[in-house]
């Protein structure tokens, strides 16, 4: 059976819900996972969603976790991270662009004219531009090696209305970016795709469903690690080039790759968006 031992991955936003689940899924397959985010241990009992805690979980699950405090808006710091990976590991096999910032203040469900204009910058800077910057840095390592996979975390908001206008524009951009990057990287042996996780069972999503702020079937909610197992399956697929440029739903890929939810089913995890590095 294929695995990810001796493979190196970077997961941006890696300590936060989906990002942490992706790190855990990769760890189960034995990968070395660089967990990047701004969240660090403070010694508090609530430090469950930090890069250090996630890296320790990666170790416990059979991988090798490397916590990296990183502001995805700092282009120089991002470039330095990938240069360090090249020097230390000598390879990069996977980049998962998962960094995202939950709007502050929360403007889900309001008209775009009612939201502060800063919402646009919050969504585009973290949800779109940071993915572009990280992908460019990753490609500089992957192209000479003629191998690698870049996964942009997106959602059905790329193709239909969801949450707010800025969110939808960003997710559509994430999907289009994957498509165009795939076109430019195809001749270099590097694949790029967009991944739609679907509904995730967190302590924020479930109350939002109950209050009617989100419309979805809560029985179809997935755990974050289920998303991670999907990413691991994609990273182990020897024919991944056939998917390059596409956008894929995790639920559909589960039927293709036959991965399942962890047992026993995990409890809903705390919600946490991208944390500023100020």
Q: What is the DSSP string of 158-218?
A: GTS--S-HHHHHHHHHHHHHHHHHHHHHGGGT-EEEEEE---B-BTTHHHHHHTTSS-S-G
CATH number at residue 92: 3.40.50.720
Host domain of residue 228: 8-257
Output the pLDDT for position 122. 87
Q: Are strands 149-153 and 32-37 parallel, antiparallel or unpaired?
A: unpaired
**Residue 257 known to be catalytic:** no
Spatial CA neighbour of 231 closest among 63, 15, 13, 18: 18
Question: Is 197 contained in some domain?
Answer: yes
For tokens 């800025």, the residue is 166
Output the pLDDT for position 191. 98
Output the pLDDT for position 58. 96
Output the pLDDT for position 211. 57
278 residues of the chain, pLDDT tens digit each: 469 999 999 999 998 889 999 999 999 999 999 999 987 665 554 556 789 999 999 999 999 999 999 999 999 999 999 999 999 999 999 999 999 887 766 667 778 999 888 889 988 998 999 999 999 999 999 999 999 999 999 999 899 998 889 999 999 999 999 999 999 999 999 999 999 998 876 545 555 555 555 555 555 678 899 999 999 999 999 999 999 999 999 999 999 999 998 876 454 555 554 444 54
In the set 100, 132, 161, 167, the catalytic residue is 167
Residue 190 has phi, psi (to 5 degrees) of -110, 135
Q: How many domains does the chain have?
A: 1
Question: Is 278 contained in some domain?
Answer: no
Question: Is 106 contained in some domain?
Answer: yes
Distance of CA 140 to the CA centre of its chain: 20
Distance CA 145, CA 185 (A): 12
Output the pLDDT for position 87. 97
Distance of CA 60 to the CA centre of its chain: 21
Q: pTM (2 decimals)?
A: 0.89
Output the pLDDT for position 181. 98
Question: Is 273 contained in some domain?
Answer: no
């Amino acid at each position: 059976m294929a695995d990810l031992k001796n493979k190196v991955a970077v997961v941006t936003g890696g300590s936060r819900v989906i990002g942490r689940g992706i790190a855990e899924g990769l760890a189960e397959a034995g990968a070395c996972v660089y967990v990047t985010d701004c969240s660090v241990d403070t010694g508090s009992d609530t430090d469950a969603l930090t890069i250090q805690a996630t890296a320790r979980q990666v170790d416990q699950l059979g991988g090798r976790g490397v916590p990296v405090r990183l502001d995805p808006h700092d282009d120089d710091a991002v470039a330095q991270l990938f240069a360090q990976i090249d020097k230390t590991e000598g390879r990069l096999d996977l980049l998962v662009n998962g960094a995202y910032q939950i709007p502050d203040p929360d403007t889900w469900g309001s008209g775009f004219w009612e939201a502060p204009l800063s919402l646009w910058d919050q969504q585009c800077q973290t949800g779109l531009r940071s993915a572009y910057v990280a992908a460019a840095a990753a490609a500089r390592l992957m192209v000479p090696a003629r191998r690698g996979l870049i996964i942009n975390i997106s959602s059905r908001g790329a193709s239909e209305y969801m949450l707010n206008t800025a969110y939808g524009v960003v997710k559509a951009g994430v999907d289009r970016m994957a498509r165009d990057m795939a076109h430019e990287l195809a001749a270099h042996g590097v694949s790029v795709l967009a991944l739609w996780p679907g509904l995730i069972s967190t302590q924020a999503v479930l109350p939002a469903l109950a209050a009617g702020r989100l419309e979805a079937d809560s029985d179809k909610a997935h755990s974050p690690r289920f998303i991670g197992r999907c990413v691991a399956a994609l990273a182990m697929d020897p024919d991944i080039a056939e998917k390059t440029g596409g956008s894929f739903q995790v639920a559909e890929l589960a039927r293709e790759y036959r991965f399942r939810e962890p047992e026993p089913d995990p409890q809903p995890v705390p919600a946490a968006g991208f944390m500023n590095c100020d």
